[in-house]
Structure 1
């Protein structure tokens, strides 16, 4: 793997996974598309395209969550309060209108992302956890910041258009994330399985980065 954990097993799996994916995480969140989105430079159609691509990613990831709900390793991470697909549908109805479903399609980067989710998340519990961790902990950590930037850019006066970033059923994001990391630390992964899982989380961040690059090429920043 490209970013070898620098922590020891005594530090816990959550901390080691974060260290192992730090570089890939920073690379994904610093793509030109995301930088321009936060700066208010992406046209509204470009933001709607992001929501649409997220819809397809979460459609597959949340199908995997249902398949993994009863699994001893992956099941504890499946939480109904995290489910994002209905919120993404609400955002798309607001952004694109009642016929939104017929107006969206996965781009090439999203198709590659979904192919990887199908490959690992329905049959490999720790692989599912790697992708679940990458997406949902990121949503909980940076979602409020992104939502505020989006509302400011497009003049949204309510949560409409940014409901994906709202977690009404989670009263304390900080506590939820601590409990999530406790569940990670409780996983009994041997060193080889940890390395494999961390590698998969890096792949997840790289797939997100490619999705953002594709969006940036299709929807360049406004000058």
Structure 2
């Protein structure tokens, strides 16, 4: 009984990370991400991902605007995290000055953005999608930043999305974010819902990666 009590007493942020780790790993090892990190993609192949991120972050940041007055959700609205301005600048470089007229979301991206809008009717749903994307970009996303710098010489233009200069220390920011997760006034049932929605968010990311892999005719596991 003591073991069960100890498990239940662990901080929610730890349980959230542990519960979503398997699907997180599936996303990291998707065919698209394996090709990206394996140096198999041309710059145009990365640009297709940046395009999808534009639609995804537009949806999340619209939800952030709506959460500004929510007692719980507003604690997770960080203006210093917003990625849309950086993505717009990147796409101007990667896709050309008329990028707004030429880009399109994949069907998987449209499904993902629709889910973000639906889930964000509740602060916990909003946080699930916010957490899944932004904390991943601050941490693991920096490996993509280094890859873009090395392979495509995108130290500045074209890779602003991965620069989080406004948050200060990344580890300190992640700790602050996790503390907010632990302090949020959610019941155990709410915690289960947040974990479930994070899993859904990861599955949507995997679907986008899989569709990109198919579009780019990537083969392999």
TM-score band, normalised by the shorter chain? over 0.9
Aligned to 1:4: none
Aligned to 1:215: 212
Aligned to 2:163: 166
Moved over 4 A (4+): none
Structure 1 unaligned spans of 5+: 1-6
1:184 matches 2:199:
no
Separation in 1 of the partners of 2:149 and 2:30?
A: 20
- TM-score, normalised by the number of residues in structure 1: 0.93
1:81 matches 2:76:
no
Q: Deviations over 1:160-180 (max 9, x none)?
A: 111100011022000000000
Separation in 1 of the partners of 2:147 and 2:218?
A: 15
Separation in 2 of the partners of 1:100 and 1:117?
A: 24
Aligned to 1:148: 146
Aligned to 1:124: 122
Structure 1 residue 133: deviation in Å? Answer: 0.5
Separation in 2 of the partners of 1:27 and 1:58?
A: 21
CA contact (8 A) 1:42 1:221 kept: no
Aligned to 1:91: 90
Q: Deviations over 1:169-202 (max 9, x none)?
A: 0220000000000000001221111111100000
Aligned to 1:67: 66
Aligned to 1:108: 107
CA RMSD of aligned residues (A): 1.5
